Amino acid sequence: MILITGGAGYIGSHTVLNFLKDNYDVLVFDNLETGHIETIEELKKAGNVTFEKGDLRNIEDIDRVFEKYHIETVIHFAAFALVGESVVEPAKYYRNNTVGTLNLLDTMVKHNVKSIIFSSTCATYGEPQYTPIDEKHPQNPINPYGASKLMVERIMSDYDAAYGLKSVKLRYFNVAGCDTQGRVGEWHEPETHLIPNILKSVFGEGKTFKIFGDDYQTPDGTCIRDYVNVEDLAQAHKLAYLWLKKENRSEVFNLGTENGNSVKEVFDACEKVLNQKINVEVAPRRPGDPATLYANANKAKSELHWNPERTLEHSIDTAYKFEQKLQKLK
Ligand code: UFG
């Protein structure tokens, strides 16, 4: 079976659904600290999912799982992912994201499991020296979150050299949208991301939506990002899994649409999709936000045959429907 760590989380749960669609047996390992048991319940309705609660920071938890099940490969999402929090609580990020992954890798070596797909991030690049960003761009993360992921990338390369453990590292740009059928979605507490924050403001949460800075060196003064749909991203994991099975070598791929959208453009698209005016105000810049980030994803397109096709409007529409569902839980 395929072990998906962090399968109760945002990107992890969409990837579980993608594998279930093709009738894979999936084992989800999650500590439910940021993931949700309700998500597991939805996943169970969609196919053959086994859930094991555990924490990568306790090597016994993960070792127990490898003892109990026959695991063929690992797709590893479990991590903390708030950039701002990582600056004030770096130990939390290094302990969970880096040391937790080290526990996972050691357990894999012990049980002779030799392939892993890893959820990395464009935050490993740091302040861009050029855009679009390709995989050769220097990696100089500017926050502990990015650094905790970059360390894992390096550890994985060393584990390939030492133990023949093959890894595909996927560096995501900005992930957006939710399952088209509305089963799972973006459910962060607290929420810091652009699209859910715009949508929450429609429901009166956080009241007026704030644009963090409109004095950047961009055409409309707001930051530009590359918003890749979460279902397209989940599909990239399936393609990476199949690619690794065939190629049996370690690689790294950027995952983005190669299109940049400014905060104002995303906001306008939300008003259009919802067909309503949304209250907005301009606030000061958020520390650590680069002006422009978007991907060169040629490598994923040519090697993995990945073709991200869902539009920003689709991401907003599905995110809105999921937000409506979350509001009903309140
Ligand atoms: N933004 C606002 N208002 C908000 C929220 C966000 O104006 O309420 C702006 C941000 O300032 C930024 C853009 O919208 O310019 C996107 O912000 P997000 O927080 O949605 O995403 P980030 O680009 O900060 O973060 C993403 C991932 C991180 C990853 C990072 C790498 O979510 O995990 O890219 O730069 F580390």
Written as one string, the DSSP assignment of 209-236 is EEEE-S-SSSTTSS-EE-EEEHHHHHHH
Picking from 271, 265, 298, 256, the residue whose alpha carbon sits closest to that of residue 125 is 256
**Residue count (the chain):** 330
Nearest residue (by CA) to ligand 1, atom 15, is 223
| Beta bridge pairs of residue 210 | 281
Domain positions in the chain: 2-177+226-257, 194-224+259-299+310-329
Report the nearest-CA residue for atom 4 of ligand 1: 194
Residues 42 and 116: their CA atoms lie apart, in Å, by 25
Prediction pTM value:
0.98
Q: CA-CA distance, 298 to 301, in Å (whole number)? A: 5
| Residue 184 dihedral angles phi and psi, to the nearest 5° | -130, 170
Q: What is the DSSP letter of 32?
A: -
Taking Cα atoms as reference points, which of 114, 109, 81, 91 lies closest to residue 10?
81
CA dist 50 and 186 (Å) reads 22
pLDDT tens per residue, the chain (330 residues)?
Answer: 999 999 999 999 999 999 999 999 999 999 999 999 999 999 999 999 999 999 999 999 999 999 999 999 999 999 999 999 999 999 999 999 999 999 999 999 999 999 999 999 999 999 999 999 999 999 999 999 999 999 999 999 999 999 999 999 999 999 999 999 999 999 999 999 999 999 999 998 667 999 999 999 999 999 999 999 999 999 999 999 999 999 999 999 999 999 999 999 999 999 999 999 999 999 999 988 999 999 999 999 999 999 999 999 999 999 999 999 999 987
Ligand 1 atom nearest residue 195's Cα: 20
Report the pocket of ligand 1 as residue ranges, CB < 6 Å: 81, 83, 121-123, 145, 174, 192-194, 197, 210-212, 223, 225, 263, 286, 289, 293
Compute, in angstroms, the gap from residue 193 CA to the centroid of ligand 1. Answer: 5
| Active-site residue (options: 125, 145, 227, 241) | 145
Please say if 227 is a catalytic residue. Answer: no
- 263, 281, 294: residue to mutate for ligand 1 pocket, most atoms within 8 A of CB: 263
DSSP state of 286: P
pLDDT in tens, 119-146: 999 999 999 999 999 999 999 999 999 9
**Domain at 194-224+259-299+310-329: CATH code:** 3.90.25.10
Q: Regarding the domain delimited by 2-177+226-257, which CATH topology (the fold level of the hierarchy) does it fall under?
A: Rossmann fold (3.40.50)
